Amino acid sequence: MTVSVSAYILIQTEVGKAAAVASRIGALSGVTTAEDVTGPYDVIVRVEAETVDELGRMVVANVQSVDGITRTLTCPVVHL
C-alpha cells in the first residue's frame, strides 16, 4: 500500500472503556498506533490510507463501529 494520507483520530469513550477501545482499534488494518490517554479524549489513533476517501471509509466503517466509542474527531495530517 502506498500511503498518501495519514490522520490522527481523537476518540471519546464510555467510562472505563478506553483500554478496550484502544486494543480493538489497534488491531484494525491501516492503524499504526492506538493509545489510551488522559485529557478531553480517551484514545488517540494514527491511521494511514492511500486516499482521503479510503480514510473516510476506514473511520466510518471500522473505527466508529467499535463498541464503547461515543465521539470521534478526525484530524488529517498536512505538510505545509
7 contacts: CB under 8 Å, gap ≥ 6: 46, 47, 49, 55, 74, 75, 76, 77
Give the tens place of pLDDT for each residue, 8-67.
999 999 999 999 999 999 999 999 999 999 999 999 999 999 999 999 999 999 999 999
CA–CA separation, 54 vs 73, rounded Å?
16
**All three cell numbers of 65:** 463501529
Residue 2 has pLDDT above 80, yes or no: no
Query: Containing H/E element for 44?
Result: strand 43-49
Q: What is the pLDDT of residue 72?
A: 96
Domain holding 23, by residue range, is 5-76
Q: What is the pLDDT of residue 1?
A: 63
Q: What is the pLDDT of residue 80?
A: 84
Say which DSSP state 27 is in.
T
Based on the structure, what is the number of domains in the chain? 1
Which CATH number is 42's domain given?
Answer: 3.30.70.920
